[in-house]
A = this chain, B = another copy of it.
């Protein structure tokens, strides 16, 4: 046990959907940062850093997101505080975790540097501290929340076909979904509304474009 002050850090789990390495099927990816200092030097970790005294929690998370990827957050939400006494060797660190969801075209523009690399969520390297547990928790929340909210919005543009929406669900839930069942469920859910526009081009017949019935919601309080 230490009598030093408890350190407060903010880290961010950044999720994007990208094609899997071995197919065109999309899966969930996230960027990690290689640690260049002890403890846990050389291991991969979630991007983050200590909270500055004059920095809002969400500002700290947005700063990290920008520093790691060059992106600005379109969906950024506080997830959970991880604070086990023994989670960091030598000092007590409580990490407040945010998650950011990034559209595929945004992720494609992410800056790549030597010590930042994107990994598929189902094939991660060894992570520092309890970050594997944090990623696993974030994935569980992502999957759970997709099922009862319009969270998928964060991965899509304003207009999308039902095929594209299904691909988001397939990527996040990591399983095939029957197209006819999916169409039926989505259309009765009231989650999306058909527009009078269609998507043309490609080898397929024109596909109806949809939009979400309500704006992307966040469960975060209004503060920050």
Give chain A's interface residues, CB within 8 Å of chain B.
1-6, 8, 51, 53-57, 78, 80-85, 87, 92, 94, 96, 130, 133-134, 137, 141, 144, 148, 219-224
Contact = CB atoms under 8 A, between A and B. Distances in A.
B92 A94 contact: no
B53 A1 contact: yes
A223 B8 contact: no
17 contacts: A2-B53, A6-B53, A53-B92, A56-B83, A56-B85, A57-B81, A57-B84, A57-B94, A80-B221, A81-B81, A82-B221, A83-B96, A84-B223, A84-B224, A133-B222, A141-B219, A144-B219
A3 B53 CA distance: 6
Nearest to A138: B221
A53 B141 CA distance: 29
A8 B94 CA distance: 9
Most chain-B Cβ atoms within 10 A of its Cβ — which of A53, A54, A78, A222? A53
Contacts of A87: 223
A57 B83 contact: yes
Contact of A85 (B6, B55, B85, B137): B55
Contact of A51 (B1, B3, B6, B219): B6
Contacts of A84: 56-57, 223-224
Contacts of A51: 6, 83, 94
